[in-house]
Amino acid sequence: MADPMDLDQDAPKGMKRTADEAGLPPEAPRRIKADVINKIAAGEIIVAPMNALKELMENSVDAGSTSLEVLLKDGGLKLLQITDNGHGIERDDLPILCERFTTSKLKQFEDLQAIGTYGFRGEALASISHIAHLRVTTRTAQSGCAWQAHYLDGKLAPPKPGQASDPKPCAGRPGTQITVEDLFYNIPNRRRAFRSASEEYAKILDVVTRYAVHCSSVAFSVKKHGDSATGFSVSAAASKLDRIKQAYGAAVAKDAVEIDTHDPKWGFSASGYVTNANYSAKRTMLLLFINNRAVESPAVKKAIEQTYQVFLPKGAHPFVYLSLVIEPNRVDVNVHPTKREVHFLNEDEIIELVCAEIRERLVKVDTTRTFKTQTILPGTGPGSATRYITTDREQVEIRLTSIKNLRAEVRSSMHDTLTEVFASLTYVGLVDAHRRLAAIQSGIKLYLCDYGLAANEFFYQLGLTDFGNFGLIQLRPPLPLRDLLSIAADFEIENEKPSSARQPQLDKAQIVNKVHSQLISRKAMLKEYFSLQISDDGQQLEAIPLMLKGYAPCMAKLPTFLLRLGPHATMRRRQELEHALENIIFPAFRSRIIATKEMLNGVVEVANLKGLYRVFERC
């Protein structure tokens, strides 16, 4: 018996080898056969059943259809049929229908600059005919009967062996029915890659529902072969909101608000529906159409998600249906085989304007949201809890010279490097609540941050930026103003440091009366500029300023706040503190704070990745 080491070992199947390693002689390049080219191209354009359906649906809509019926078997792999009531196809056009680059929508390359239809390359039907058995039944309004034709590899084919391949007359209603059977029958590797029919059905349903929302005045229905009921349907008369409700549920439609904006300078208009802050999902659902074409755009999605960060809690995501109409000469639609991506001019400017419109709509709608119920006065029971509600106000322009000067002082004291650290920070965790230390990461560096110092500067800047435009925290029911001042006065008297005998001491009543009279005399100014609302009779506190959306201050400190009319440190339980730091305070730092030179003492670098590498290399 031969020694195993003497036997030739075959290379594993699928391993790449050079021509020399495979023992093949060098060959000159040669032209690939046409049928191989067509199959390669078809595999790029029709990646899955959902791609075939998308191309066929777009052709139907281009044909003026008002009703589309989809029938599926095994997720579209065994059978995919779409029936429409469009203008149909002339009998004389059927012989070239499935030839590559055959289309009625494009005559010369320059037409791409003004393309207004879904299709333009003339490859969809040709690609399908190379990887499936294709049957077309069509009838125009002028035709006395329907015509049926079978296709294989881009050409007419006989229905059965021995029969003629010419189109044959048959019964049929106006419109076109395209039947695709045994998709990828001649590409076994692609066919085996599909894990389950139900997964492909779900993908097809996603495509149909997207177009059902966007295409007004068009009825859609999807049904599995053999089922009596439809999996999804919507009538042609349904409104946009009805279509959203039918496709994505009543919860989405209930919290959806309409957006609409345009700008002639950038040659675009945008419309659609977005959910308000009361709705949230585990992932963002973005239905994006650019010039009526369903596309994907990571840049648009990221910008919208960042816009919603201010309105939604961490881990919550919105539903967004957005239709962008951009001047055709500003859009390049020919950048992807499946047309799922497009490029357009002034992308950043258009995205910013769309996000600004979404932000404005959310602020207007999100005017009254209950956050929590909390007892704030000592000795009161659960039945007397005060509910506080955040309310946004219409923005007004502040032209006070003093405020402008204070804002200028902040900008002049800006520390560029530290501001960049805060702008790119990632919150790591709370280190020491007593010393007000938190760990943050920026780039490859780790810092300890005095969040008390940073928060003090941040809220000061927030006060200057939003001066006269604070939201409201409405107190329901209103709180007795004198009782609050009395509580604060007791606290101040108990904690007052011993003073010289010569200094006169104010009693509690004097303190309360003096501060109360000051508040009443400045009531109009406090309401206009600081959103601090006192009742007309001066006895009730009705609202306090909302500094930061989603951040509820410690209401137990409200009496002292009123007495001092200034900021005061709040103490929270560790869990509440960490939640506020991670989800509200530090994200707000990242987007709005200007780090000043005075904050340098509050941020210390404790480690950086390059330094750690050198340490471990020595070890």
Distance CA 182, CA 176 (A): 20
Residue 68: pLDDT above 80?
yes
Whether the Cβ atoms of residue 260 and residue 271 lie closer than 8 Å to each other: yes
Residues sharing a CB contact under 8 Å with residue 164, sequence separation 6 or more, in sequence order? 158
Torsion of CA 305, 311, 315, 319, to 10 degrees: -60
Distance CA 140, CA 167 (A): 14
Residues sharing a CB contact under 8 Å with residue 494, sequence separation 6 or more, in sequence order? none
**Among 116-120, 348-352, 524-528, which stretch is predicted with the lowest mean pLDDT?**
116-120
Residue 286: name the closest of 298, 277, 276 by CA: 298
SS (H, E, C) 105-162: CCCCHHHHHHCCCCCCCCCHHHHHHHHCEEEEEEECCCCCCEEEEEEECCEEECCCCC
pLDDT digits over 320-364, tens only? 999 999 888 887 765 555 456 677 888 889 999 999 999 888 877
- Specify whether domain 248-365 bears CATH 3.90.1150.10: no
Residue 501: pLDDT above 70?
no
Whether the Cβ atoms of residue 602 and residue 421 lie closer than 8 Å to each other: no
Distance CA 578, CA 288 (A): 36
Residue 100: name the closest of 129, 60, 80 by CA: 129
Distance CA 288, CA 101 (A): 27
Residue 486: name the closest of 429, 548, 534, 558 by CA: 558
pLDDT at 396: 67
Q: Please tell me the pTM assigned to this model.
A: 0.55
Q: Assign 181 a pLDDT band (cuts: 50, 70, 90).
A: very high
pLDDT at 273: 96
pLDDT digits over 437-459, tens only? 999 988 888 899 998 888 888 88
Helix H segments across 501-606? 508-521, 523-530, 558-564, 574-580, 586-592
Q: Beta 285-290 vs 293-294: how paired, if at all?
A: antiparallel
Distance CA 385, CA 491 (A): 22
pLDDT at 573: 44
Whether the Cβ atoms of residue 580 and residue 567 lie closer than 8 Å to each other: no
Residue 572: pLDDT above 80?
no
**Among 130-139, 231-240, 539-548, which stretch is predicted with the lowest mean pLDDT?**
539-548
Q: Assign 291 a pLDDT band (cuts: 50, 70, 90).
A: confident
SS3 282: coil
SS (H, E, C) 310-340: CCCCCCCECEEEEEEEECHHHEECCCCCCCC
Q: Side chain identity at 336, as an amino acid letter?
A: H
> Pick the residue with more confidence: 333 or 107?
333
What are the backbone angles phi and psi of residue 332, rounded to the nearest 5°?
-110, 110
pLDDT at 543: 85
> Pick the residue with more confidence: 415 or 389?
415
Distance CA 411, CA 405 (A): 10
**Among 230-234, 341-345, 507-511, which stretch is predicted with the lowest mean pLDDT?**
341-345
SS3 211: helix
Average pLDDT of the segment spanning 516-529: 84
Q: Side chain identity at 61, as an amino acid letter?
A: V
Residue 77: name the closest of 154, 192, 158, 178 by CA: 192
SS3 479: strand
Distance CA 281, CA 279 (A): 7
Tell me what the pLDDT averaged over the chain comes to.
Answer: 79
Residue 236: pLDDT above 80?
yes
Q: Side chain identity at 238, as an amino acid letter?
A: A
Range 29-44 burial, b when 16+ CB lie within 10 A, else e: eeeeeeeeebbebbbe
Range 261-291 burial, b when 16+ CB lie within 10 A, else e: beeeebbbebbbbbbbbebbeeeebbbbbbb
Distance CA 585, CA 295 (A): 35
pLDDT at 214: 93
pLDDT at 145: 93
**Among 271-280, 335-344, 467-476, which stretch is predicted with the lowest mean pLDDT?**
335-344
Distance CA 409, CA 236 (A): 60
Rg (the chain; Cα; Å): 34
Distance CA 151, CA 379 (A): 84
Residue 103: pLDDT above 90?
no
Q: Assign 78 a pLDDT band (cuts: 50, 70, 90).
A: very high
**Among 31-35, 468-472, 502-506, 562-566, which stretch is predicted with the lowest mean pLDDT?**
502-506
- Where does 35-234 sit in CATH, by number? 3.30.565.10
Q: Assign 472 a pLDDT band (cuts: 50, 70, 90).
A: confident
**Among 29-33, 50-54, 426-430, which stretch is predicted with the lowest mean pLDDT?**
29-33
The 8-class DSSP code of residue 575 comes to H
- The helices-and-strands tally (H runs, E runs) of the chain is 20, 25
- Identify the residue whose tokens are 């779900």: 202
Range 143-182 burial, b when 16+ CB lie within 10 A, else e: beebbbbbbebbebbeeeeeeeeebeeeebebbbbbbbee
Residue 11: pLDDT above 80?
no
Distance CA 291, CA 345 (A): 14
Whether the Cβ atoms of residue 399 and residue 537 lie closer than 8 Å to each other: no
What distances in angstroms separate CA 494 from CA 302, 380, 489, 507, 559, one per listed residue?
Answer: 53, 21, 9, 12, 15
* Domains of the chain, residue spans: 35-234, 248-365, 372-494+507-607
Helix orientation angle between 240-248 and 197-214, rounded to the nearest 10 degrees: 170
Residue 373: pLDDT above 50?
no
pLDDT digits over 477-500, tens only? 888 888 888 888 887 777 765 554
Residue 390: name the closest of 368, 405, 407, 373 by CA: 368
Q: Assign 408 a pLDDT band (cuts: 50, 70, 90).
A: confident
Residue 477: asked if its preceding bond is cis (omega within 30°), the reply is yes
pLDDT at 14: 53
> Pick the residue with more confidence: 200 or 521?
200
